[in-house]
């Protein structure tokens, strides 16, 4: 084992990561399994390793997790040794979902950053509502990647969202009388409209 001097300090690590890959193999002595899990956040991405007495069916790609770290940070075969991963089933404060979008999902980071700021600028209540709806990793990925409706439209939701953002921006810049509260509602409406398309798709899956 060795300390990886290139790892960021504990203070700079995000509190929540998204799982992008998982591998689980039996431990050689037959007592449990060893996990190697790829994690992503805009501020840091890494592979972590830990052992468990049995496989954890909750550890799936796209899930959001919190890391139980070991001190000091050490690596074995390129993976950071941790105590465990805790799957986050319910939304928590301070997490912007668009900061956990892996590049393999959406390559155009400009659009992801645009959506991140749109969510950040919403009032707290609306932000929490949207975050709760999109907290499930599979639904969030579908929101980003699938067509805008089950009728096979060829506009991806993230592209449509960028267009909606641009239109709202035009209104607010060209009409100083446009109430700020209504602008927030327009942002929320655009997001919720696209989320409803994903939920509609789920009902037909």
Of the two residues 61 and 157, the one the predictor is more confident about is: 61
This prediction has a pTM of 0.76
Separation CA 18–CA 61 (nearest Å) = 8
**Range name among 36-40, 115-119, 142-146, 177-181 with the lowest pLDDT average:** 177-181
- Residues in Cβ contact with 70 at an 8 Å cutoff, skipping those fewer than 6 apart: 81, 82, 83
The whole-number pLDDT of residue 205 equals 53
Of the two residues 159 and 73, the one the predictor is more confident about is: 73
Neighbours of 64 (CB within 10 A): 23
Q: Can you tell me the mean pLDDT for 12-40?
A: 92
- For residue 99, pLDDT over 80 is answered with yes
- Could you read off the pLDDT of 85-98 as tens digits, one per residue? 999 999 998 899 99
């Amino acid at each position: 084992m060795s300390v990886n001097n290139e790892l960021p300090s504990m203070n700079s690590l995000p509190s929540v990561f998204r799982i992008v890959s998982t591998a689980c193999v039996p431990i050689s002595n037959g007592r449990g399994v060893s996990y190697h899990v790829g994690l992503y956040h805009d501020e840091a991405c890494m592979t972590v390793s830990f052992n468990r007495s049995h496989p954890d069916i909750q550890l799936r790609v796209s899930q959001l997790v919190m890391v139980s770290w070991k001190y000091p940070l050490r690596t074995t075969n390129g993976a950071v040794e941790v105590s465990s991963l805790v799957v986050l089933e319910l939304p928590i404060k301070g997490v912007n979902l668009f900061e956990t979008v892996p590049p393999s999902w959406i390559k155009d980071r400009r659009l992801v950053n645009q959506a991140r700021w749109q969510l950040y600028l919403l009032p707290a209540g609306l932000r929490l509502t949207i975050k709760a709806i999109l907290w499930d990793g599979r639904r969030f990925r579908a929101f980003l990647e699938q067509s805008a409706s089950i009728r096979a439209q060829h506009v991806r939701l993230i592209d449509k969202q960028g267009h909606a953002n641009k239109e709202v921006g035009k209104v607010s810049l060209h009409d100083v009388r446009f109430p700020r509260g209504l602008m927030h509602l327009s942002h929320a409406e655009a997001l919720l409209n696209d989320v409803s398309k994903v939920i509609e798709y789920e009902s037909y899956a």
